A and B are shown apart, each in its own frame.
Chain A
Amino acid sequence: MSTRSELVPRFSSAQRLVHWAVGLSFTLLLLTGLAFSYPALFWLTHLLGGGTSAMVLHPWVGVVFSAAMGATFVMWVRDMRLGAADRRWLRAIQAYARHDTGHVPPAGKYNGGQKLFFWAQTLLALVFLVSGLALWFPGAIAAVVPAASTLLASMRLLHYLATLAGGLLLTLHVYLGLFAFPGTARGMVDGKVSRAWAALHHPAWRPDTDPVTTTRDAERR
């Protein structure tokens, strides 16, 4: 019988690298994007060297974000299929938020909320990519589309709405991982979580037989 403070691997090093590529690029994109949307936040463009520089670099950071999101999708999609158990978990989400553990159906490696988060961010990444490409090359759009102004204005609206949704998701993600459930963030730093954490949040997960983390990280444990 293992002790509750013993650490078990949860994320592979590749998963952690990709997670931080997404996280850091999206944070930069969100802050500079808000700078372009809100005059009072225009000073945030200095994160990327000032107005013009931020305007030039924002889409390139977007390229990094899109690539990292592509890798995220490939790495995680098999674990993210929503099933009946996830729907039961989602119905009990208020109990989870209240820490009323007794009324939360046992989640596997990922709970219904995390799976929903994955699909929401995948959809948002697609919206960002399509609308972002259009806004990056307005001249090319104008050359082929007759009503380019209307199209580009709609793309800006879409890009903005996706920013709002993405900003909310990031807030939720950071709050849950960093503040609400201590011990979670560590999974994305050295890749490990405690058995107590796993038993509380993902009781149906079997870390000792998890194919993602047991292959290479097991012997290092």
Chain B
Amino acid sequence: MSTLSIRRTSAATSPAPGIRSTPEYAKLIDIGSCIGCKGCEVACKEWNDLKVEPTANFGSYQSHQDLSAHTWVLMRFDEVEMSGRLQWLITKDACLHCEEPGCLYACPAPGAIVQYENGIVDINQDRCIGCQYCVTGCPFDIPRFDRDTKKVYKCNMCVDRVDAGLEPACVKTCPTHAISWGSKEDMLALADQKVDLLRRRGFENPVTYNPAGIGGTHMMYVVPHGDRLADYRLPATPTASPAPLTGLGALKRIGAYVLGFGVLSSLVHYLTIGPQTAEDVPADEH
């Protein structure tokens, strides 16, 4: 995607170059409409040409145990008990494309993580140095490190398709329209409708998952049991503040002054008091 569209860039020393005003996109996952077919997983692998990872049955309907550098989306299946009944919770686990991206704030490599005007957060692997600070900075545990390339990978919202005016591959393939795609505004309105529908059908706490702590996300969920977010593995109040722990923000500025002060005071000492040469000091003064 064009540099004209870059709104934020990691470890930047100058403002991001983006000047385009494009609509913000969002993907909406209606968990209640998902039938768990994993078509989105396959579409993601196909479009992005990601290698197949052998997997084994581990007592779940889930395909893989975890996300990986080659598996950017994973349908997680969790069996939990609710009001004495077994509930099968499905979550489409992938990058949420945060408005305030913790990965980008934590990244020390200039330009390795960018956020486009349309809200997509993308990793430029050619600039990634493999420090994995983004893994620590992400409130959703999404980025995955690849040992062979020593780079980090995650869902890029099919940025190449979106750039060409297409929807992401997972959206296109979903047979039940559980995944919707459009402007963030439209998707928020659609989410409201879906939440209303769920409420009318007897769900007590349906919610739209678009957490405010990170300024909202560009992949949102309609969660049927909004009071059980932890069971969907969704943090209730994720944060990605650039300071003090992830980006070390203001602290680093203070640190720079402290180091500069150290060097400067040495210089001042040298220029005012000056060096002391032992041979110049008379022996009786010792």
Contact = CB atoms under 8 A, between A and B. Distances in A.
Interface of A: 4-5, 35-40, 42, 45, 51-52, 54-56, 97-99, 101-102, 138-139, 142, 148-150, 152-154, 156-157, 160, 163-164, 167-168, 171-172, 175, 179-183, 194, 196-197, 199-201, 203
A51 B258 contact: no
Contacts of A152: 136
Nearest to B139: A149
Interface stretch (B43-51, B158-166, B267-275): B267-275
30 contacts: A4-B279, A4-B283, A36-B108, A37-B108, A38-B252, A38-B256, A39-B11, A42-B11, A51-B127, A52-B130, A52-B150, A56-B150, A101-B285, A138-B136, A139-B132, A149-B137, A150-B245, A153-B246, A160-B251, A160-B255, A172-B266, A179-B266, A180-B269, A182-B276, A196-B281, A196-B283, A197-B278, A200-B278, A200-B286, A201-B278
Interface string B145-168: 100001000000000000000000
Interface of B: 11-13, 108-110, 127-133, 135-139, 141, 145, 150, 244-246, 248, 251-252, 255-256, 258-259, 262-263, 266, 269-270, 273, 275-279, 281, 283, 285-286
Contact of A203 (B109, B251, B270, B286): B286
Contacts of A139: 132, 145
Contacts of A52: 128-130, 150
A196 B279 contact: yes
A156 B275 contact: no
Contacts of A51: 109, 127, 129
A65 B149 CA distance: 27
Given A99-B273, A196-B279, A199-B283, 16 more contacts: A38-B256, A39-B11, A42-B110, A56-B130, A97-B273, A98-B273, A152-B136, A153-B246, A160-B251, A168-B262, A179-B266, A180-B276, A182-B277, A183-B279, A200-B281, A203-B286
A175 B266 contact: yes
Contacts of B278: 181-183, 194, 196-197, 199-201
A88 B188 CA distance: 71
A101 B281 contact: yes
Given A150-B245, A153-B245, A171 B136 contact: no
Given A42-B108, A150-B245, A180-B270, A171 B262 contact: yes
A154 B245 contact: yes
A55 B277 contact: no
Contacts of B136: 138, 148-149, 152-153, 156
A179 B130 contact: no
Main secondary structure of the interface of A (DSSP, over half): helix
B67 to A, nearest CB: 13
Contacts of B128: 52
A182 B279 CA distance: 10
Contacts of A55: 129-131, 150
Contacts of A56: 130, 150
Contacts of A102: 285
A58 to B, nearest CB: 9
Contacts of A148: 136
B279 A160 contact: no
B279 A179 contact: no
Contact of A157 (B137, B245, B269, B273): B245
Contacts of A168: 258-259, 262
A178 B285 CA distance: 23
Nearest to B112: A51
Contact of A171 (B129, B141, B255, B263): B263
Contacts of B269: 97, 175, 180
B233 to A, nearest CB: 13
A165 B270 CA distance: 21
Given A157-B248, A196-B281, A39 B13 contact: yes
A179 B275 contact: yes
A180 B152 CA distance: 47
From B108, B263, B278, B286, name the one whose CB has the most chain A CB atoms within 10 angstroms.
B278
A167 B259 contact: yes
A32 to B, nearest CB: 11
